[in-house]
Amino acid sequence: MDNTILIATRDNYVPINGKNYTDGLRKDTLDLYTGFPYERGRCGAVTDVTLLDQWRLLNGTFIHNANIFPLKTPDNFNGCQIRVGSYGIPPYIILAGNSTDSDGNVVYKLGGLAVQNLLLAVDKMNVTFLFRKPSLRIAFEEATYEAEHLADRNSDVLIGSVPLLPVYLSTWFQPIIPYEYTALKWFVPCSQPVARMEKVMHTYQLPVWLAMATALVMIAILWWGLADWRHSFLKESRPFHTLSHCLYNAWAVAMGVSATNTQTLGTSDFSFSFTYGIVSL
């Protein structure tokens, strides 16, 4: 992590009971230090710190107005080794082979478009790349695995067809400008579509459909008979004078949609209250 440490110097330290005591700090200035991991041939190890600037306590200003967070990556790495993680499939990442060095470590030899883009910078930056075991499968688990190694500093650089997931776009990593873009089509197995009528017919089993049909026919016949009966309150209701209209109204009420308008309030109340028991069944 890039950081700058603000600390008081040891010389001219003001004691707690001193006249110019300021929270136990130095009387006039504070020093700002940082470390450069690749300075003077050091390969990633910070063994010495560098004084960046000093802060005046009296007027609250910097002495040199230097950059507090300077660039820590030099133009010349002096042959330092950088561990490279890789993620992707051919032709971006190709495993050309592996061998074992004198210490018994496995050395991987990689090729592909992503590796070639990286090798173009080898001579210019004077750096030695050590390839870790590649992840040669496009999967969420593989991408998360490489992200964890990059966060744990087991890898210094990650190359390949890296997806632009939130984990890689967080403040933990510093993505570069992509050199190539690739669009993928993800095929997911799906069942064959079922016809609409077949969906309706498979909602209930055959005995249920037969019971519903029988109940609707019986209600339609009952309404039709009541409409023709001389003393019936459905006598003046025209929608119930034909059997087809009675079937239509019974089916409409069962499906919960609007039925044919009736002429009397009592007719409407009777029809809906009578068929309510059928729908509940």
Q: Read off the CATH number of the domain in which 83 is found.
A: 3.40.190
Q: Are residues 237 and 221 in the same domain?
A: yes
Its domain, for residue 88, covers 75-190
Nearest to 86 by CA among 67, 105, 68, 113: 113
Q: Are residues 246 and 270 in the same domain?
A: yes
Whole-number pLDDT of residue 219: 87
Are 62 and 53 in contact by the 8 Å Cβ rule? The answer is yes
Q: Are residues 81 and 57 in the same domain?
A: no
Residue 277 or 93, more confident: 93
Are 66 and 4 in contact by the 8 Å Cβ rule? The answer is no
pLDDT of residue 230 exceeding 70, the answer is: no
Are 278 and 218 in contact by the 8 Å Cβ rule? The answer is no
- Domain stop point among 173, 190, 207: 190
d(CA 55, CA 149): 38
Q: Are residues 185 and 225 in the same domain?
A: no
Query: 49 phi and psi, to 5 degrees?
Result: -110, 160
pLDDT band at 135 (very low <50, low <70, confident <90, very high): very high
pLDDT band at 272 (very low <50, low <70, confident <90, very high): very low
**Residue 67 belongs to some domain of the structure:** no
| Amino acid letter, residue 153 | R
**Residue 173 belongs to some domain of the structure:** yes
Instruction: State how many domains the chain has.
Output: 3
Q: 117: which 2 tokens? A: 């883009």
Whole-number pLDDT of residue 269: 40
- The percent of the chain in helix, strand and coil, each rounded to the nearest 5, is 30, 15, 50
Q: For the residues 211-221, what does the mean pLDDT come to?
A: 88
pLDDT of residue 267 exceeding 70, the answer is: no
Predicted TM-score of the model (pTM) = 0.52
Q: Are residues 103 and 147 in the same domain?
A: yes
Whole-number pLDDT of residue 17: 52
Q: For the residues 15-21, what does the mean pLDDT come to?
A: 50
Instruction: Please tell me the least confidently modeled range out of 9-13, 181-185, 190-194, 250-254.
Output: 9-13
Q: Are residues 87 and 184 in the same domain?
A: yes
Q: Are residues 92 and 51 in the same domain?
A: no
pLDDT band at 110 (very low <50, low <70, confident <90, very high): very high
**Residue 28 belongs to some domain of the structure:** yes
Whole-number pLDDT of residue 131: 93
